[in-house]
Amino acid sequence: MASKTINPTRMELSRLKSRRTTAVRGHKLLKDKRDELMRQFLEVVHRNKELRAKVEAGLMEAHGAFTVAASVMSQEMLEQALSYPKQSVSLDMSFQNIMSVEVPKYNFRTQNDDPSEIFPYGFAQTSGELDDALEALSGVFQDMLELAQVEKTMQLLASEIEKTRRRVNALEYVMIPEMETNIKYISMKLDENERSSTSRLMKVKDMMLEEQRQKALQKQLQREQEWKQAHPDE
């Protein structure tokens, strides 16, 4: 149904056709964007599955080693061994643009690259299981950071996919059909007006022809009367 406030003029028709062309082009671009976002999202989901399995396995390994270490070391000795870490870590965050979506990229840097710096204690009074636990945690830390990055990326991409989907649906099922309806309505009204104008012109033409015929007939009658008056005996 056409909008009640629409003005059925040729200028409005031209404006609506231009808007429809723009809307159709925008609809195609948004569909392409949605499809590419979905492709990127599925890739991230696959990577998330891989990382989660890897991180869970690493944490289980660290937890098992730490549990054994806690069973062979006293609570006081365990807390003292872990109270003063030697290695410091800094986290850098940057952003990557994926189809106009700014997703984070995390990267951590250690104070130095010496692997032994992850052990903040001497080895005389600690167990090998504690070393294994810290090595497992150190090995899984980068994967944990990437997992956090991937899950945030999934969240942002899912939000953008939903917004894009709503825009595509609004164009496809509301805006473009409404424009099409209004264009048909205006075209119909303009055709009606044109037919009405043509009909009025034909009526005016017929009236003018009839008027000319009546005038010609009157002139003919007038000439006949004048002739009869000039020749009364005939």
10-residue mean pLDDT series, the chain (234 residues): 71 92 95 95 95 92 83 72 66 87 83 58 63 78 89 95 96 94 91 81 82 81 75 64
The pLDDT of residue 88 is: 67
101 vs 161: CA distance, rounded Å = 10
DSSP state letter for 108: E
Q: What integer pLDDT is reported at residue 233 of this predicted model?
A: 62
- Is residue 40 within 8 Å of residue 99, measured between CB atoms? yes
123 contacts: CB under 8 Å, gap ≥ 6 = 131
The CATH class of the 10-182 domain is mainly alpha
Q: Report DSSP letters for 130-195, one per residue.
A: HHHHHHHHHHHHHHHHHHHHHHHHHHHHHHHHHHHHHHHHHIIIIIHHHHHHHHHHHHHHHHHHHH
On whether the CB atoms of residues 58 and 132 are closer than 8 A, the answer is no
Widest Cα–Cα separation across the chain: 162
pLDDT (0 to 100) of residue 25: 96
Burial annotation 153-163 (CB, 10 A radius, 16+ → b, else e): bbebbeebbee
Q: Is 43 exposed, middle or buried (0-12, 13-18, 19+ CB in 10 A)?
A: exposed
Positive or negative, the Cα torsion across 201, 205, 208, 210? Answer: negative
Tokens of 18: 């231009």
